[in-house]
Amino acid sequence: MAAQPSSPAYLSGRLLVAAPHLDDPNFERSVVLVLHHDGEGAQGVVINHPLGEPVDAVLPGWQAVATAPQQLFQGGPVRTDSAIGIVTVPGEDSEPLGIRRLFRGIGVVDLDAPPVLVAPEVAGLRIFAGYAGWGANQLEREIRRGDWFVVEAESRDAFSDDPDRLWENVLRRQRGPLAFVAWYPEDPSLN
């Protein structure tokens, strides 16, 4: 359906959209923003699985800076006891204090930095518990197997105000047959 990258095309800054048949509960109907990908592996965060917990429950002081819905997100199954802050940073100036730019205005924030110093520098913030990780060539094998559709990310994806519908919305905006996957029933036996 979707054109798959040829090796060694790295996928940092792109989205992985779970194929409907991917039944791993960690990734079922998930959308992953790839933060880093190289020959040694890949890391990303699931951007559409809110946990329903307020940000202040884990990181006091960051609630007011977080983008709505202001709650923690399940970033993936790896190191769920840690938090990653993803931000959107306007402009192309040097890195603001406490922020490391990754790609196209997206960066990671040092969550040990005082929120009052970071808040004026960012246009969006989302906090993730854990992350998704793949070893060398693991992600490439999963893509070849058809577990993931690789698509372009839009700047608003990581900060969607409707994360529960993000899987469907990302697929709908694709061209060609991939857009039809958005209507794939959660339980095909009911179709």
Whether 5 is covered by a domain: the verdict is no
Question: Do residues 86 and 33 lie in contact, with contact meaning Cβ atoms separated by under 8 Å?
Answer: yes
Residues 126-136, mean pLDDT to the nearest whole number: 98
pLDDT above 50: residue 44: yes
Strands 71-74 and 124-135: parallel
Q: Give the confidence band of 32 by pLDDT, cuts at 50, 70, 90.
A: very high
What is the CATH number for 169?
Answer: 3.40.1740.10
Whether 55 is covered by a domain: the verdict is yes
Q: Where are any strands of DSSP class E within 19-159?
A: 31-38, 41-46, 50-54, 71-74, 78-88, 99-103, 106-109, 124-135, 148-152
Dump pLDDT digits (tens) for 54-102.
999 999 999 999 999 999 999 999 999 999 999 999 887 788 889 999 9
Whether 57 is covered by a domain: the verdict is yes
Whether 190 is covered by a domain: the verdict is no
Domain total in the chain? 1
Q: For 27-77, where are the alpha helices, taking DSSP H only? A: none
Q: Give the confidence band of 110 by pLDDT, cuts at 50, 70, 90.
A: very high
Q: Which domain holds residue 69?
A: 14-182
Q: Give the confidence band of 185 by pLDDT, cuts at 50, 70, 90.
A: confident
Is pTM, for the whole model, over 0.75? yes
